[in-house]
């Protein structure tokens, strides 16, 4: 953990997690706290499932780690623990040995050939 760069110092919420944080803050006092936890868990599982579809093309795998972090693995048994999507892509780049670019023609082609599936909840 590094205090200087803020890594692991969760005072900073990544923009992709902001809505969950806001929702929890806006909740009326006394409301059921497990409701948000369920929401959060559901979103994390959804994110892991979606991200895996992209990572497959780079030989990487992602799992939820205790509901608070994510663990990213490659085929050689190396792994990195990340907090959010902000630290996720640099870690994936280190493991894959190249930048993961959504505009890369090979990725675009590979993903484009996959059959579309109906999106689950879009919140």
Partner 1 sequence: MAGKRATRPITIVTGFLGSGKTTLLGRVLSEPSMSNTAVLVNEFGEVGLDHHLLRRVDERAVLLGGGCVCCTTREDLVEALLELLDLDQRGEIPRLDRVVVETTGLADPAPILHTIFADPVLQHHFSVDLVLTTVDAVNGDLHLDRNPESVKQVAAADKIVLTKTDVAEPGSVQRLHSRLGAINPSAHVLEVAFGEADPGELFRPDGAVSRAVPGASAGESHETGETNSVSLSFDGPVDWTAFGIWLSMLLHARGEDVLRVKGFLNVGGSGPVVVNGVQHTIHPPEHLDRWPDENHRSRIVFISRGIRPDQLLGSLEAFRGLLGARPLSLGAEQGASSP
List residues binding partner 1 (CB under 8 A).
5-6, 9, 11-12, 14-16, 18-19, 22, 43, 46-47, 50-51, 53-54, 85-86, 88-90, 93, 99-103, 107-112, 114-123
Nearer to partner 1, 12 or 31 (CB): 12
| Both tokens assigned to 112 | 């484009």
Report in angstroms how near the CB of residue 73 gets to partner 1 at its nearest. 18
Report in angstroms how near the CB of residue 75 gets to partner 1 at its nearest. 20
Nearer to partner 1, 77 or 115 (CB): 115
Report in angstroms how near the CB of residue 8 gets to partner 1 at its nearest. 13
Nearer to partner 1, 97 or 102 (CB): 102
Q: Tokens 């890594």: give the residue.
A: 7
Nearer to partner 1, 77 or 100 (CB): 100
Report in angstroms how near the CB of residue 116 gets to partner 1 at its nearest. 4
**Which DSSP string corresponds to the chain?**
--TTT-TT-TTS--GGGHHHHHHHHHSPTTS-HHHHHHHHHHHHHHHHHHHHHHHGGGTEEEEEETTTEEEEEETTS-EEEESSHHHHHHHHHHHHTS---TT-HHHHHHHHHSPP-------
């Amino acid at each position: 953990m590094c205090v200087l760069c803020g890594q692991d110092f969760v005072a900073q919420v990544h923009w992709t997690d902001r809505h969950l944080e806001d929702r929890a803050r806006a909740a009326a006092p006394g409301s059921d706290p497990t409701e948000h936890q369920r929401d959060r868990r559901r979103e994390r599982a959804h994110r892991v499932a979606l991200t895996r579809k992209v990572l497959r093309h780079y030989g990487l795998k992602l799992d939820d780690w205790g509901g608070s972090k994510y663990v990213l693995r490659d085929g050689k048994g190396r792994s990195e623990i990340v907090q959010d999507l902000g630290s996720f892509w640099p870690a994936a780049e280190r493991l894959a040995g190249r930048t993961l670019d959504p505009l890369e023609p090979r990725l675009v082609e590979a993903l484009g050939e996959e059959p579309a599936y109906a999106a689950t909840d879009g919140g």
